[in-house]
Structure 1
Amino acid sequence: MENITAICLAPQNSRTSVGLFKRAVENAVAGSFHVDFVAGWADHPMLIKAFAQRMQAALSTARSKRSGRVAVLFIAHSVPARTIEPSESPVEYHGMILANGPDCYADDCKETAPLVAGELKDSLSPDGWYFAFQSQGMSGGPWIGPTVEDTLSQLKADGYGTVVIQPVGFLCDHVEALYDIDIAFQ
């Protein structure tokens, strides 16, 4: 028997994203291989260091070009609340039956942000950063939040003139995240 190690490039585990990829890999190999699937690595030291390096550069640039207070906003993609809530029976999502019980996605997302902020302790105060979820959809009831839009409005009301946004749920540029940050959130 051959072994495969698979890693989903979404660091925060979720049965509705990473879980779907895991099931797709397992179905594709159909028992031909043993699959060791890395389901979540939101707190991996190298991930945290990479995010912190990018944030440090962006934060330094923002502070050198802008006057006034600069906030840091860590963001991750939202999901429908119903897909991460515990349930008595398995949850179905996009035609796939997923496990019941609580989903760790929101907690994983919220775990990554303070770890990155901690790496920046020399240049970022503990109260100088915030967290929000982006891209809430229109279907399926409420989505997890707070939203980026509400958070940006509050930051403006609190006197911040500049916000540096760091997506922590994507490892590379993603069209949806780029649109949200570069166009919608402006």
Structure 2
Amino acid sequence: MVYDAFVLLSFGGPEKPDDVMPFLRNVVRGRGVPDERLAEVAEHYMHFGGVSPINQQCRDLLAAIDTEFAEHGVGLPTYWGNRNWHPMLADTLAQMRDDGVENALGFATSAYGGYSSCKQYWEDIAAARAHVGPGAPRIAKLRQFHDDPGFVGPHTEAVTAALTRLDPARRATTRLVFTAHSIPVTMAETAGPTGGRYNAQLEETARLVHATAAADLPYDLVWQSRSGPPQVPWLEPDINDHLEALAAKGVTDVVVSPIGFVSDHLEVIWDLDNEAKDTADRLGLGYARAVTPGVHPDFVSMIRRLVQERTADRSRESLGTLPIWDVCPADCCPPPARRKAS
């Protein structure tokens, strides 16, 4: 297959206060979530002036990718399209069609398998192509990268840097806490050829980062950003509950590393820099949050290498042992059952 473009696939976020509610309605469309509930989430965005950092982070990443491609002879024009806010993926594909693009490679800003983190991007592509209609470019999504050195390495550096902000005299009572977005238990336990991949890949990433950054410290993988009806079980423990438990066991300091994410978007800065930090302060815990890869040079180089795996027959680089598919099985990662919110 000959590819003639690259497209960055992301979640999207509001960029002014008037965007917030329409954006949130896009996020929960089809789920029957009332505006009253969305208004509670909207307050998180209003805390930052109604602006999510994710769109600017995507602009910065795309600019870094352009430079990386130019320096390494990857002659693909680059585009960017979102799931939930402008630039919407359908609009981007229409522009790509008008530019003559036929076959593009898509990079999603999520390292892991699972429905929301992987398969839903395939659904986004299909829906956008259907919206554009005849001549819509074909998009081949690049593989997951949870164990690639270009993803693991920046997280490892960030944990090492965060540890320097804590009191070294309390190293013996310091703990490393990895976080990722919680998902419904039924999604995490889905049977089939790729069942449980989200959890397993996160566990492998945590192990790889821990082994290099802080092998002498105990560590845990916990969850954040839970949503949905309270009666539906999601992966636990939540980061705030876990901090309570650690303090009760005599832990004095924590490094929190959001390995589930590629950039410091709103869920990271609200859930960890505000809520979890407030919990740690209340408990008297020393607290340092490790940054995410963002535009780290190794992460940007990884994206270029993923492209070259498809365009130049470059061999795959990986630090783990779990299988990774270029094209997922058709029955992988089914969507969660939708329940109407009451």
Q: What is the aligned partner in structure 2 of residue 60 from structure 1?
A: 164
Q: What is the aligned partner in structure 1 of residue 128 from structure 2?
A: 28
Give the CA deviation at 1:87: 5.9
CA distance in 2, matches of 1:172, 1:86: 27
Q: What is the aligned partner in structure 1 of residue 236 from structure 2?
A: 145
Contact 1:55-1:166 at 8 Å conserved across structures: yes
Q: What is the aligned partner in structure 2 of residue 108 from structure 1?
A: 201
Q: Mind listing any 5+ residue stretches in structure 1 that lack a counterpart?
A: 89-99
Give the CA deviation at 1:16: 2.7
CA distance in 2, matches of 1:158, 1:124: 20
Give the CA deviation at 1:176: 1.7
Larger Rg computed on CA atoms: 2
- Partner-residue secondary structure (3-state), 2:109: coil
Deviation digits for residues 113-159 of structure 1 (CA, Å, limit 9, x no counterpart): 11111122xx431x522110112224261001222123212211221
AA of the residue aligned to 1:154: A
Q: What is the aligned partner in structure 2 of residue 10 from structure 1?
A: 110
- Partner-residue secondary structure (3-state), 1:35: strand
Are 2:284 and 1:184 equivalent residues in the alignment? no
AA of the residue aligned to 2:199: A
CA distance in 1, matches of 2:219, 2:266: 24
Q: Percent identity?
A: 25
User: CA 1:87 to 1:67, structure 2 compared with 1: closer, same or farther past 3 Å?
Assistant: closer
Q: Mind listing any 5+ residue stretches in structure 2 that lack a counterpart?
A: 3-101, 279-342
- Partner-residue secondary structure (3-state), 1:75: strand
> Among 105, 112, 118, which residue is 2:211 paired with?
118
Give the 5 Å matches for 1:119-134.
119-120=212-213, 123-125=214-216, 127-134=217-224
> Among 253, 274, 279, which residue is 1:162 paired with?
253
More helix, by proportion:
2
User: CA 1:39 to 1:79, structure 2 compared with 1: closer, same or farther past 3 Å?
Assistant: farther
- Partner-residue secondary structure (3-state), 2:257: strand
Contact 1:16-1:83 at 8 Å conserved across structures: no
> Among 128, 132, 149, which residue is 1:45 paired with?
149
Contact 1:18-1:39 at 8 Å conserved across structures: no
Give the CA deviation at 1:83: 2.6
Give the CA deviation at 1:18: 1.9
User: CA 1:138 to 1:27, structure 2 compared with 1: closer, same or farther past 3 Å?
Assistant: closer
More strand, by proportion:
1
Once superposed, what is the RMSD of the aligned Cα atoms? 2.4
> Among 135, 159, 162, which residue is 2:225 paired with?
135
Q: Taking CA–CA contacts closer than 8 Å with sequence separation of 6 or more, which of the two structures ends up with the larger relative contact order?
A: 1
TM-score between both structures, scaled by the size of structure 1: 0.80
Give the CA deviation at 1:101: 6.4
Deviation digits for residues 42-98 of structure 1 (CA, Å, limit 9, x no counterpart): 11111110100111111112135x74622111100101112333269xxxxxxxxxx
CA distance in 1, matches of 2:243, 2:181: 16
